[in-house]
Structure 1
């Protein structure tokens, strides 16, 4: 556990060095929220969650890319892949909770006649899905620009595609639509069950994929070459 916490602390320090980026990421969900505030109550809540998803996935992408140069040295010092992955997940999930809390309080103060518990659930699932999603992109794509473009494509499709269509269920943040509908329109519990199930499945699946991708990458020793 102590090694996991050391990795988590190092990841937090790395993020804090990018202060300008952090400020932009902090304000991005607010822009999403204000763009739909007013006559589009359901969309404003859904969009602030998508803004959080974009911000947290981007932060995780940067954190994962920045750690590539440090990981081999930590491995030589006795750190296992589980320490590196869990430490980074713990740090970024903590950042996600800290980032989403002000926006939950904003909705709590600004919106009326909504199910606040469901909104808290949306934001919690957004945190637990966004972080492994960003880390997975950093694990499978070698450059931050490529990961950012993929992330932009996914979030953009999440916004423009018909959320009622079956194809959108393959996107990682579809649950926000179901839970936002349940929270704002006071629909039946089917929306809650579908949204919760979708979010949990993606959170678990993405986390497992991050662990597997990290284990495979850290076992590779590109600096070694066989003599022929």
Structure 2
């Protein structure tokens, strides 16, 4: 537990250094929300959640990429892969809660006759999914620019694709549409069940991908060469 907390603290400090980026990420969901607030209540809630997802995924991507340089020293100091992964996820979840709480209050005060519990569920799942998604990109892709472009493509497709299409359902933030529909339109429990199931499955798949990709990457040591004994 101590090692996990140390990694979490390091991740928070690294993100805190990027103050300008954090400010931009904090304001990004607000722009998403205001763009649809006027006459599209359901879309405004869904868009603010997508904005949160984009912001938190970007923060996770930066945190994972910045930690690459120090990972070998941590591993040599006795930190296992589980410590590194759990610590970064814990830090990102904490940042995600702090970032999403003001937006939940905004919706709570600005919107009426909606199911606030479902909106809280959307934001909670968005925090969980975004942390794993951003970390997965940081492990799989070697550069931040590549990860940022993938994030842009995924969020853009999530906004443009018909939510009823199968292609939209495989994207990580599809659950936000189902839960937002349940919250705003007061539909039946099927939307709630599908949204929760999709969100939990997305968290599980992406977290497993982080663990597998991290272990594969850590298993490579191209700078080490074994010489035969003569």
Q: TM-score range by the shorter chain?
A: over 0.9
The alignment's C-alpha RMSD in Å is 0.9
2:19 is matched with which residue? 19
1:179 is matched with which residue? 179
Matches within 5 A, 1:1-228: 1-227=1-227
Q: Deviations over 1:20-72 (max 9, x none)?
A: 00000000000000000021000000000000000000000000000000000
For residues 223 and 7 of structure 1, what CA distance do their matches in structure 2 show?
A: 25
For residues 21 and 122 of structure 2, what CA distance do their matches in structure 1 show?
A: 24
Q: Deviations over 1:66-109 (max 9, x none)?
A: 00000000001111111001000000011001100000000000
For residues 167 and 213 of structure 2, what CA distance do their matches in structure 1 show?
A: 26
Count of aligned pairs between the two proteins: 228
For residues 182 and 10 of structure 1, what CA distance do their matches in structure 2 show?
A: 39
Q: Which runs of 5+ in 1 are unaligned?
A: none
For residues 38 and 189 of structure 1, what CA distance do their matches in structure 2 show?
A: 27
For residues 144 and 43 of structure 2, what CA distance do their matches in structure 1 show?
A: 30
Q: Deviations over 1:183-221 (max 9, x none)?
A: 000000000000000000000110111011111211221
1:5 deviates by 0.1
For residues 218 and 205 of structure 2, what CA distance do their matches in structure 1 show?
A: 20
Q: Which runs of 5+ in 2 are unaligned?
A: none
Q: Which runs of 4+ in 1 moved over 3 A?
A: none
For residues 190 and 81 of structure 2, what CA distance do their matches in structure 1 show?
A: 39
For residues 216 and 166 of structure 2, what CA distance do their matches in structure 1 show?
A: 33
1:227 deviates by 4.2
For residues 7 and 167 of structure 2, what CA distance do their matches in structure 1 show?
A: 38
For residues 66 and 53 of structure 1, what CA distance do their matches in structure 2 show?
A: 20
